[in-house]
Amino acid sequence: MSPAVPAVLTSPVQWFRRHPRVTDVVVVVLAAADAWFTWPGRGPLVVGCTVLGFVGLLLRRRWPLPAFLLTLPAVPVSGVLVAGVVVLYVLAERTRDRRILTGCVLTWAVLASVPWEGGRSSWSDDAVSLVLFAYAAATAAAPVLLGQLVQAQRELARRLVEIEQVTAHQQQLYAEKVLARERTRLAREMHDVVSHQVTLIVVHAGGWEATAREEDVRQAAGVVRRLGVRTLEELRTMVTVLRLSGSEDLGLTPSPTLADLRDLVRDSEIEVVLEAHLPPADRIGLPPQRAVYRVVQEALTNVRKHSPGARTRVCVQHDDVHVTVLVENGPPTLPALSLPGSGTGLVGLRERVEVLDGRFEAGPVPDGGFRVRAVVPLQSP
């Protein structure tokens, strides 16, 4: 925002600046009227100086100082003042050198206050010449001061924009610092609490697998142990990601890909029919592969929690542009277990897919089941 006084004073100037053609017409009309009312005669010198003044008026935007010099002869010879005043304003608006501006004002004032008789200048000895010089200097100083005011306002507006940008950058740095501190706290909590509990589960499952006599019990304990180990690996990966503030190139455990889908379905302990027509690895990027894997993983987790015993179908297909994943389950056949949940799993999947410019749909089906469908581009944007 700009100071109130310069804004009030320069609002007409800003309007004319936004409409250069209207400005040119107004300036030419004023200069023509000035030349018409002060026309001293039709001699070649007067006509030539007047024409030079109009040429300088038209060249004021591109070459303000040469344009001002072209308007000077018309000031004492033909008395045309509008062209010189306008060019003085443009020169003051674009020039920072105060010495040049002072010299232009004094030169214009001297030429405007010189009385001409018969094509020659003559100074009178009385005080009239000083009064004329004072009036001429004030006339020349007015557009110069206005031009300097507009220049200062423009510079102030630019500085304010820079200050706003610096302030926004500082706020962003502060937010990133707070976020990094919060990431570190979350990583510490995950490591101290969740990792400890999952490690105990893995240890007990391993002991159970080693001492159980029934084959079914040993297999179930083995599944629990393998899932616990995989959970620990992914948990450690997430802890490292949080500690490194979300860096992409971390050198961590490889992220899951479409090649891991069959292992995911096999370890889900659900009656699943997998129809996987996977695209070649060189045609699909790693972020889309992770998105498809997480969609299937979250959908199977929801089936275990909310629809135990339901038949589930996982279908992965692709074309030249997209890969489509569909996870659909029927109604539950067993009572659902009371398991904790955040209720944000599908929301996170939708965000993950939409970040890749994909489409995500999730909702119940008429037979009492649930359907999750995601369409992800083969290459991330």
How does the average pLDDT of the chain come out, rounded? 76
Contact 346, 362 (CB under 8 A): yes
Contact 329, 307 (CB under 8 A): yes
CA distance 324 to 334: 30
Residue 22 confidence (pLDDT): 62
CA distance 333 to 311: 9
pLDDT category of residue 2 using cuts at 50, 70 and 90: very low
Q: Which residues of 187-210 are buried (b: 16+ CB within 10 A; e: fewer)?
A: beeebeeebeebeeebeebbebbe
Delineate the domains of the chain, giving CATH numbers in brackets: 4-165 (no CATH), 257-381 (3.30.565.10)
pLDDT category of residue 3 using cuts at 50, 70 and 90: very low
pTM of this prediction?
0.43
Angle CA 18–20–24, to nearest 5: 145
CA distance 85 to 258: 76
Residue 250 confidence (pLDDT): 43
Residue 48 confidence (pLDDT): 65
CA distance 23 to 7: 19
Amino acid at 70: L
Instruction: Please write the tens of the pLDDT for every residue from 78-121.
Output: 666 777 778 788 888 888 778 888 887 887 777 777 655 544 44
